[in-house]
């Protein structure tokens, strides 16, 4: 495909150049010229009053994609226990599979964890492909890549979804590269075009400033990763029936190039913000490491976790494990209280799906107020301790 300028129609008005998000159009001698950085997004075509821009379709060789059928999800497990993201993927995967009229399968790699396979069926998998081998007990880039790629080559699913977790982001790109297919990471929304059997993959880019919908029209499978808590978990229904196919490596060559020597867990209650139902978050407005105690006190009073904006983490007032946002964690608690956080798009990208968002900020024009359910313009050093005190009083009162 290429973007073409019809020189007769182009007036050199420059609206396309201004609109282009990739700075790919120059006006030279009164005519639009498309530069190498053009990404074919088509934003310019929409704004051209003179219809001087159009997409030229170049026929690309397409092998018979229609033989690829089925929606797969990669069911991640750690220490023999399924990660919650697997159930979230089953929920979304079910919707996609139903609209495409195909089955939903879960791929489980591990050793002696058949019970986990049953859990996947209870959450909606029509079929579980369980590859059972000691070599797959713990995550290994090379082993998991080899096995999943081999399964996909043999079974030919049209869509493969995976969690954008440390494991997913490590080996799923390798699978995509091995298969020579497209992968879209960190999707925040998925949809299908059942007629064309296309997966519409929507994800943030430019630090969360824009959303892009990506397609993978001419390769299969269409692969996407999704962050934890972007989708809700599927319901568990023990009455659901599904096939569990347990198999071995069957001669797949693993070619292991790395080996885990030791695993170290570092979970603290206040740190595991991705699981928390209530999060109190501090930003640049907190002004110092010592002042974060104010945030921690409120979190404790509410029984919640402590979060932070990138600004607070960069200033070294709190550790990176608490960072919420585009380059931190995605959270979706019932209640998110943002204190002294301006509400840059990158931060919102990490917490905007919270049920109730409360913003406390001195600046009445802070963008966070546009995203908040309740906003208080005020000094967080007044409001937050007051909240903590009132909550404690109430808890005393009810005892």
Partner 1 sequence: MNIVVCIKQVPDVSDVRINPETHTLIREGVPSIINPFDMYAIEEGIRLRERFGGKVTVLTMGPPQAEAALRDAVSMGADDAVLLSDRAFAGSDTLATSYTLSMAIRKFGSLDVVICGKQAIDGDTAQVGPEISENLQWGFAAYVRKIEDIADGNLRLERLMDDGYDILNVRLPAVITVVKEINRPRLPSLKGKMQAKKMAIPVWTAEQIGADPERVGLKGSPTKVWKIFTPEFKRKGERIEGEPRAQVDRLISEIRRLGIV
- Considering only 26, 211, 247, 362, the residue that binds partner 1 (CB under 8 A) is 211
- Between 20 and 286, whose beta carbon lies closer to partner 1? 20
Residue 291 CB, nearest distance to partner 1 (Å)? 17
Residue 93 CB, nearest distance to partner 1 (Å)? 20
- Per the CB < 8 A criterion, the answer to whether 83 and 201 are in contact is no
- Considering only 208, 282, 285, 350, the residue that binds partner 1 (CB under 8 A) is 208
- Between 238 and 255, whose beta carbon lies closer to partner 1? 255
CA dihedral 278, 284, 290, 296 (to 10 degrees): 0
Binding part of the chain for partner 1, among 88-96, 124-132, 240-248, 389-397 by CB under 8 A, reads 389-397
Give the distance, in angstroms, between the CA of residue 219 and the centroid of all CA atoms in the same chain: 22
- Between 166 and 247, whose beta carbon lies closer to partner 1? 166
Binding part of the chain for partner 1, among 95-103, 113-121, 286-294, 369-377 by CB under 8 A, reads 369-377
- The residue to which tokens 């546009």 are assigned: 370
Strand partners, 128: 106, 244
- Distance, CA of 87 to CA of 93 (rounded, Å): 10
- The residue to which tokens 């002042």 are assigned: 291
- Considering only 4, 7, 33, 42, the residue that binds partner 1 (CB under 8 A) is 42
- Considering only 4, 33, 166, 293, the residue that binds partner 1 (CB under 8 A) is 166
Residue 123 CB, nearest distance to partner 1 (Å)? 20
| 36 belongs to the binding site for partner 1 (CB under 8 A) | yes
Say which residues have a Cβ less than 8 Å from residue 207's Cβ, sequence separation at least 6: 326, 345, 346, 349
- Between 29 and 259, whose beta carbon lies closer to partner 1? 259
- Considering only 45, 212, 249, 252, the residue that binds partner 1 (CB under 8 A) is 212
- Between 63 and 114, whose beta carbon lies closer to partner 1? 63
- Between 103 and 291, whose beta carbon lies closer to partner 1? 291
- Considering only 278, 284, 287, 315, the residue that binds partner 1 (CB under 8 A) is 278
Q: At 166, is the secondary structure helix, strand, or coil?
A: helix
Residue 166 CB, nearest distance to partner 1 (Å)? 5
Q: Give the max Cα distance, the chain.
A: 80
Cα distances from 196 to residues 113, 158, 185, 199, 216, in angstroms, run: 37, 12, 22, 9, 11
- Per the CB < 8 A criterion, the answer to whether 32 and 64 are in contact is no
Q: Which of 108, 135, 167, 105 has the alpha carbon at shortest distance from 251? A: 135
- Distance, CA of 246 to CA of 304 (rounded, Å): 41
CB atoms within 10 A of CB 45: 16
| 387 belongs to the binding site for partner 1 (CB under 8 A) | yes
Q: Using CB under 8 A, which residues numbered 49 to 68 contact partner 1?
A: 60
Q: Using CB under 8 A, which residues numbered 328 to 357 contact partner 1?
A: 334-335, 344-346, 348-349, 352, 355-357
- Between 40 and 237, whose beta carbon lies closer to partner 1? 40
Binding part of the chain for partner 1, among 6-14, 63-71, 104-112, 205-213 by CB under 8 A, reads 205-213
Helices 166-179 and 141-155 cross at an angle (nearest 10°) of 50
- Considering only 194, 210, 245, 362, the residue that binds partner 1 (CB under 8 A) is 210
Q: Using CB under 8 A, which residues numbered 80 to 139 contact partner 1?
A: none
How many chain residues bind partner 1 (CB under 8 A)? 107
Q: Which of 176, 162, 156, 173 has the alpha carbon at shortest distance from 90? A: 162
| 47 belongs to the binding site for partner 1 (CB under 8 A) | yes
- Between 114 and 272, whose beta carbon lies closer to partner 1? 272
Say which residues have a Cβ less than 8 Å from residue 374's Cβ, sequence separation at least 6: 356, 357, 358, 359
Q: Using CB under 8 A, which residues numbered 217 to 276 contact partner 1?
A: 217-219, 255, 257-267, 272
Q: Using CB under 8 A, which residues numbered 300 to 319 contact partner 1?
A: 302
Q: Which of 314, 336, 25, 344 has the alpha carbon at shortest distance from 209? A: 344
Q: At 143, is the secondary structure helix, strand, or coil?
A: helix
Residue 131 CB, nearest distance to partner 1 (Å)? 20
């Amino acid at each position: 495909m290429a973007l073409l300028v019809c020189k007769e129609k182009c007036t050199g008005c420059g609206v396309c150049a201004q609109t282009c998000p990739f700075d790919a159009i120059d006006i030279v001698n009164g005519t639009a010229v498309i530069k190498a950085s053009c990404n074919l997004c088509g934003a310019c075509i929409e704004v051209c009053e003179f219809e001087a821009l159009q997409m030229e379709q170049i026929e690309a060789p397409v092998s018979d994609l229609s033989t690829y059928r089925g929606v797969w999800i990669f069911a991640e497990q750690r220490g023999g226990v399924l990660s919650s993201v697997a159930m979230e993927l089953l929920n979304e995967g079910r919707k996609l599979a139903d609209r495409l009229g195909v089955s939903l399968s879960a791929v489980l790699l591990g050793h002696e964890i058949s019970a986990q396979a049953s859990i996947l069926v209870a959450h909606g998998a029509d079929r579980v492909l369980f590859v059972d081998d000691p070599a797959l007990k713990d995550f290994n880039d090379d082993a998991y890549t080899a096995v999943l790629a081999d399964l996909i080559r043999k079974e030919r699913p049209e869509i493969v979804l995976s969690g954008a977790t440390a494991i997913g982001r490590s080996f799923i790109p390798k699978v995509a590269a091995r298969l020579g297919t497209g992968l879209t990471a960190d999707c925040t929304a998925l949809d299908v075009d059942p007629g064309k059997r296309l997966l519409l993959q929507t994800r943030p880019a430019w630090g969360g400033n824009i959303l892009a919908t990506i397609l993978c029209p001419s390769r299969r499978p269409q692969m996407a990763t999704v962050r934890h808590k972007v989708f809700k978990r599927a319901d568990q229904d023990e009455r659901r029936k599904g096939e569990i196919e347990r198999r071995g490596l069957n001669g797949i060559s693993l070619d292991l190039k790395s080996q885990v020597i030791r695993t170290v867990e570092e979970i603290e209650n206040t740190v595991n913000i991705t699981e928390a139902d209530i999060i109190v978050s501090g930003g640049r407005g907190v002004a110092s490491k010592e002042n974060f105690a104010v945030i921690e006190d409120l979190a404790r009073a509410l029984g919640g976790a402590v979060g932070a904006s990138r600004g607070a983490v960069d200033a070294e007032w709190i550790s990176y494990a608490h960072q919420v946002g585009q380059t931190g964690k995605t959270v979706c608690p019932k209640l998110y209280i943002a204190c002294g956080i301006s509400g840059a798009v990158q931060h919102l990208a990490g917490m905007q799906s919270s049920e109730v968002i409360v913003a406390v900020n001195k600046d009445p024009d802070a963008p966070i107020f546009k995203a908040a359910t309740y906003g208080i313009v005020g000094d967080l050093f007044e409001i937050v301790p007051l909240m903590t005190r009132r909550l404690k009083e109430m808890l005393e009162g009810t005892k």
